[in-house]
Structure 1
């Protein structure tokens, strides 16, 4: 991923269905893979008719978007807009 193609993206993380980190870049921490995968699974249980809900966690430091699809969880860390 080139920074110029993804403005505001500070990091990305991919995890498998067991929470094992497949890849992390930028500010995304490998150690968070299990928690991110668990959040994605819990969101699917809350809304079983939606095949892939997107979770947005917002804070002053930015936003994390989390989505699970085909047994892979992807998390995108976005910087706060200035």
Structure 2
């Protein structure tokens, strides 16, 4: 399973505009990272958990976009795994 995850992250980082990708569990443990710091896993998981509390009765989890001058980060949780994609401005 670990090899499949690594393969998917590698493919994701080949997409134009994507500079990094990260997967974390619900406790903020980094499962895999490419093109970004693994130390960000805890922050990414925490942001996803806090955003889910905004609509606690929703059947779907939110997609969070954090934007800055240096790019953006898209964060989404699904099945106890949180995924973050780091995008650079084009």
TM-score, normalised to structure 2, is: 0.82
Cα distance in 2 for residues equivalent to 1:59 and 1:39:
16
Deviation for aligned residue 1:20? 0.1
Check if 1:77 corresponds to 2:86: yes
Aligned length: 78
Matches of 1:51 and 1:41 in 2, distance apart? 13
Q: Between Structure 1 and Structure 2, which shows a larger proportion of helix residues?
A: 2
Moved >3 Å (runs of 4+)? none
- For the Cα contact (< 8 Å) 1:58–1:64, is it kept in 2? yes
RMSD of Structure 2 on Structure 1 (CA): 1.1
**How far did residue 47 of structure 1 move?**
1.4
Match of 2:22 in 1: 13
Where do 1:13-32 residues align within 5 Å? 13-26=22-35, 28-32=36-40
CA contact (8 A) 1:44 1:50 kept: no
Of the structure 1 ranges 50-59 and 72-81, higher mean CA displacement relative to structure 2 is found in: 50-59
Alpha-carbon separation, structure 1, partners of 2:50 and 2:71:
22
Is the partner of 1:35 in helix, strand or coil?
Answer: helix
